[in-house]
Chains A and B, each alone.
Chain A
Amino acid sequence: MSFNWCLTPISVLRRDLLLTLRRPAELMTTLFFFIIVVSLFPLGIGPQPELLREIAPGVLWVAALLASLLALPRLFAADHADGTLEQLALAPQPLSLIVFAKLVAHWLTTGLPLTLLAPLIALQFDLPASATWVLVGSLALGTPIFGAIGAVGAALTLGLRGGGVLTAVLVLPLYIPALIFGAGAVEATLGGLDAGGHLSLLAALTVFTLTFAPWAAAAAVRISLD
């Protein structure tokens, strides 16, 4: 009988999606956090449209980054608490593949909604349509990086004191390249430049991260389960 190596990852993906959709409040909290953080900036800085348009790429990207960060505990914490994670680690399928399935489910319920919500918030900052499209594209490319690198940090801090803040300290420095290229792409469009270079680098970073981060995260899960 042939060994079905993708069976467990696919059922993990289905299960994670189902669990999140059955408790939509968690998902909505992340989205509202994103909206609220972004809305704070005009209140703190002032309502001048030119200024807001100038800071919009950075503000939207940093807010999306923080919202993704807050969603990270959802990846492993519940499964770690009820022992599911140990069973997954015992599965004959590679743990990195299972982690990858969890990352896909996580992105579908965090990164994708944030990306889809971004144009709406871009309106608040009076971003032109061209920059808004680039913003959506860059967030779609960049949010998987937040999940993938964040998975390593979330797995390393499983069951530790002050897990959430600790995860932030570990992964935020590693988010910087994605932030630079993502916000840079929108800024370039605003300045009338071509965003292609930024987006290509961001896409390369996404591919690189999605290739290696699942392994690192799987290793981190095994370390935490020992």
Chain B
Amino acid sequence: MAIHWFKYASPASFYGLAGPMIPWFAGAAVVTTLLGLYIGLVLAPTDFQQGDSYRIIYIHVPAAWMGMFTYLVMAGWAAAGLVFNTRLSGMMVQALAPTGALFTFIALWTGAFWGRPTWGAYWVWDARLTSTLILLFLYIGYMALRASIDDPRRADRAGALLTLVGVVNIPIIYFSVKWWNTLHQGASVKPGSSSMATVMLTGMLVMAFAAWMYTIAISLARVRSIIVEREQHSAWVGELLVAEETAGTSGDVQRSKGETAR
């Protein structure tokens, strides 16, 4: 039997689908974060060159990966939204943007703290740093555009177009910055140029997995808020809010999912 993919393109049914998934992803995020930090901070040995300062890698690299990857996911949803004209796609792009911007910012911030002991400077105009900074600008551009459009459907479509233009430009920006960098300054210290010990790599990958789980959990939670906010005048959200009110506690929103996931 074919799966009806488009069934969950409806915000109402996706709301019901997303709700029960959030605790699982959030739980996985907590468990893998604790595991990854244990591997990274306790099991992994001290680096013979950088001492303990290298341990920021367990936050830095997963954040950088997640910041880049989230933009690609946003672009995927943006393309889906423009092609199929599904409302949920625009909401997903909107829900992912703050998390992607947050991870990109964390990558830059931890990079600065890591750069100080290893390179002797908080910031160098390294190709990867510069292109990550530009990625943050792209996130900010998307959020600024969204914030200044009142009509959510127009904001969806305009944001989707901007995201796609951005994703086409990302490789161009990356390579231009890379070539610019090699022309301008001599070799800067490249972290992790030597092969990593297995335990360090394991810790980093576990932390990367934790970042994925966190991103999924938080964007599902955010998209549920966006759905309720945007669909507040529809009948099903009205029923949902009434059900919540009678149940008394906000935790009981889950209970009404049976009626909404038709």
Contact = CB atoms under 8 A, between A and B. Distances in A.
Contacts of A219: 161
Interface stretch (B95-103, B165-173, B202-210): B165-173
Nearest to A188: B183
Contacts of A226: 153-154, 157
Interface string B23-52: 000000000000000000000000000000
Contacts of B165: 149, 152, 174, 216
Given A156-B145, A219-B161, A226-B154, A173 B172 contact: no
Interface string B188-205: 000000000000000000
B158 A174 contact: no
Given A152-B161, A176-B173, A223 B141 contact: no
A224 B144 contact: no
Interface in B153-183: 153-154, 157-158, 161-162, 164-166, 168-169, 172-173, 176-177, 179-180, 183
A223 B173 CA distance: 26
Interface in A83-122: none
Contacts of B223: none
A162 interface: yes
Contact of B148 (A157, A180, A205): A157
Report which residue of B134, B140, B165, B180 has the largest number of chain A beta carbons within 10 angstroms of its beta carbon. B165
B134 A173 contact: yes
B176 A181 contact: yes
Nearest to B159: A156
Interface stretch (A19-27, A62-70, A133-141, A164-172): A164-172
A201 B179 CA distance: 11
Contact of A169 (B140, B164, B166): B140
Given A161-B148, A162-B148, A223-B158, A180 B176 contact: yes
Contacts of B109: none
A220 interface: yes
B158 A166 contact: no
Contacts, number: 71
B121 interface: no
The dominant DSSP class at the B interface is helix
A212 interface: yes
A161 B134 CA distance: 24
Contacts of B176: 176-177, 180-181, 201
B168 A156 contact: no
A226 B82 CA distance: 14
Nearest to B156: A223
A101 B179 CA distance: 33
Contacts of B149: 160
B144 A170 contact: yes
Interface in A13-41: none
B145 A170 contact: yes
A173 B138 contact: yes
B96 to A, nearest CB: 18
B172 A166 contact: no
A144 interface: no
Contacts of A177: 169, 172-173, 176
Report which residue of B158, B168, B180 has the largest number of chain A beta carbons within 10 angstroms of its beta carbon. B158
Contacts of A181: 176
10 contacts: A156-B162, A157-B148, A169-B141, A170-B162, A177-B169, A180-B179, A180-B180, A181-B176, A223-B161, A226-B157
Closest 7 A/B residue pairs (Cβ)? A177-B176, A173-B137, A180-B180, A170-B141, A223-B157, A180-B176, A160-B148
Given A169-B137, A170-B141, 13 more contacts: A149-B165, A152-B161, A169-B141, A173-B173, A174-B166, A177-B169, A180-B176, A180-B177, A180-B179, A181-B176, A188-B183, A205-B172, A226-B154
